[in-house]
Amino acid sequence: MTDDCVFCKIRDGEIPSDILYRDELCFVIRDIAPLAPTHLLVIPVEHFERISELESRFDQTFGAMFAAAKDSAKAEGVSDSGYRLMINQGRDGGQEVPHLHMHLLGGRRLGGLGIPSERSSRND
Ligand code: AMP
């Protein structure tokens, strides 16, 4: 199901967004709510919700996504200073948009992974 998918709509030009990079397998946009000076999203062209759905397209999809991330980091000027690549998967991973995507964060010293809310909520 891709009818209501925000990233499919951006891919198809139904929602305006600057597409910074695009090839046949993935595209790159700026996150609408950036958590760092550079916050990009690297998104497969095809609608996969989960990594497990990639199956035989795993290598080529991730190859393209990591190459796009590397080149985008360079274009953003964060290649040398460093950056973080991050994929949220499913409910426990905090995935909000159910179209596989990789965050690229950089441009400032990032904090820790900010891991689980479960442990802190038990201590509340
Ligand atoms: P995740 O929690 O990994 O699913 O992250 C989804 C990300 O998509 C969030 O960081 C949102 O800010 C971002 N996002 C949602 N809608 C848009 C949009 N229209 N354009 C750019 N980024 C978006």
CATH number at 84 reads 3.30.428.10
Q: Choose among 85, 108, 96, 118: nearest CA to 33.
A: 96
Residue 49: inside a domain, yes or no?
A: yes
Range of the domain at 89: 6-108
Q: Which atom of ligand 1 is nearest to the CA of 98?
A: 4
Ligand 1 neighbourhood includes 95 CB (under 6 angstroms):
yes
Q: What is the pTM of this model?
A: 0.93
Residue 52: inside a domain, yes or no?
A: yes
Q: What is the Cα–Cα distance from 99 to 120, expressed in whole angstroms?
A: 28
- From the CA of 87, how far away is ligand 1's center (Å)? 12
What are the tens digits of pLDDT across the range 52-61?
Answer: 999 999 999 9
The domain tally of the chain equals 1
Residue 124: inside a domain, yes or no?
A: no
Pocket test for ligand 1, best of 39, 96, 102, 103 (most atoms within 8 A of CB): 96
Q: What is the DSSP string of 14-59?
A: SS---EEEE-SSEEEEE-SS-SSSEEEEEEESS--SSGGG-GGGHH
Q: Choose among 50, 40, 33: nearest CA to 92.
A: 50
Residue 81: inside a domain, yes or no?
A: yes
What are the tens digits of pLDDT across the range 57-115?
Answer: 999 999 999 999 999 999 999 999 999 999 999 999 999 999 999 999 999 999 988 77
Residue 1: inside a domain, yes or no?
A: no
Amino acid in the structure at residue 80: D
